[in-house]
Amino acid sequence: MPLFTILTLFPEALEPYLDVGVLGLARRRGLVQTRLIDFRDWTRNRHRSVDDRPFGGGPGMVLRPEPVVESIEWIEREWGPHRKLALCPSGATFSQPMAQSFVEEPRLLLLCGRYEGFDERIFELHQIERVSIGNFVLSGGELPALCIVDAVTRLVPGALGDERSAQEDSFQDGETLDHPHYTRPRTFRGLAVPEVLMGGDHAQIDAWRRKQAQARTQARPTPGSHPTQPNNGAF
């Protein structure tokens, strides 16, 4: 059973999302575990502050090493070694193959950055991988942590109602997007479901879906470009 331990200053912001949908069901079925740890509990001052001004000057504040390092060490004493990931813009971009590698890990520790980031000595003292969800900046690592937990949980056997859902998701074979999907009604505002999906010929349906997935993948905007029309693929 995978264990996700999330180190954050805002555990109350994460709990509602972890308790609904696929994640909530997987937790209640005992397929995954999540623990939310507030590293403010390891502060050493009466104000419970975790940040300070950067040496050398500059804007913003930096997360101090003591509460982060000591909370990591406490977590690993309590529950064993974790594969440790720091959510920050300088990391490798998260991907579906990365999610597939994470699902094999019994314990993942997700460090949610804030402010200008972590004191670099945190990385010198512990083996921590840096992971990003894209080339943009957020106020903290909480949303990226939820993205990773969600993506990995979907791959845990039994987490989805039909195992084919994960197998047929976008990017499962590397780069290919998912094919278009349709449901009732058969005609909506003058737009009909493609006839091939109504004929019951599964070989033709599979061929059509592969062709549509390839076309959608080829038409996908490149990073940094602006799409001319919406891409309604799987999230």
- Spatial contact of 102 and 110, defined as CB atoms under 8 Å apart: no
Catalytic residue flag (residue 154): yes
Bridge partners (DSSP) of residue 63 are 51, 118
For the record, the structure tokens of 203 come out as 């070989």
pLDDT at 224: 61
Q: CA-CA distance, 95 to 67, in Å (whole number)?
A: 30
In CATH, what class is 3-153? alpha beta
Q: How wide is the angle at C-alpha 143 spanned by C-alphas 27 and 16, nearest 5°?
A: 40
pLDDT at 217: 85
- Catalytic member of 64, 107, 114, 154: 154
- Catalytic member of 38, 142, 169, 178: 169
pLDDT at 222: 66
Global pTM reads: 0.84
Half-sphere exposure of 147 (CA within 13 A, CB side): 18
pLDDT at 167: 57
Catalytic residue flag (residue 120): no
Alpha-carbon distances, residue 120 vs 8, 65, 86, 142 (angstroms):
18, 8, 12, 20
Asked if the bond preceding 54 is cis, omega within 30° of 0, the reply is no
- For CATH 3.40.1280.10, the residue range(s) in the chain are 3-153
pLDDT at 226: 53
- Catalytic member of 51, 76, 116, 168: 116
- For CATH 1.10.1270.20, the residue range(s) in the chain are 171-219
Bridge partners (DSSP) of residue 92 are 131
Catalytic residue flag (residue 169): yes
Name the DSSP letter for residue 87: E
- Catalytic member of 89, 105, 150, 180: 89
Please state the length of the chain. 235
Asked if the bond preceding 2 is cis, omega within 30° of 0, the reply is no
Name the DSSP letter for residue 207: H
pLDDT at 172: 54
Q: Quote the CATH superfamily of domain 171-219.
A: tRNA(m1g37)methyltransferase, domain 2 (1.10.1270.20)
Q: CA-CA distance, 135 to 90, in Å (whole number)?
A: 9
pLDDT at 231: 39
- Spatial contact of 141 and 8, defined as CB atoms under 8 Å apart: yes
Per-residue pLDDT 10s for the chain (235 aa) are: 899 999 999 999 999 999 999 999 999 999 999 999 999 999 988 889 999 999 999 999 999 999 999 999 999 999 999 999 999 988 999 999 999 999 999 999 999 999 999 999 999 999 999 999 999 989 999 999 999 999 999 999 999 976 666 555 545 555 788 899 999 999 999 999 999 999 999 999 999 999 998 999 898 776 665 554 443 333 3
- Spatial contact of 12 and 44, defined as CB atoms under 8 Å apart: no
- Spatial contact of 178 and 169, defined as CB atoms under 8 Å apart: yes
For the record, the structure tokens of 159 come out as 């987490």
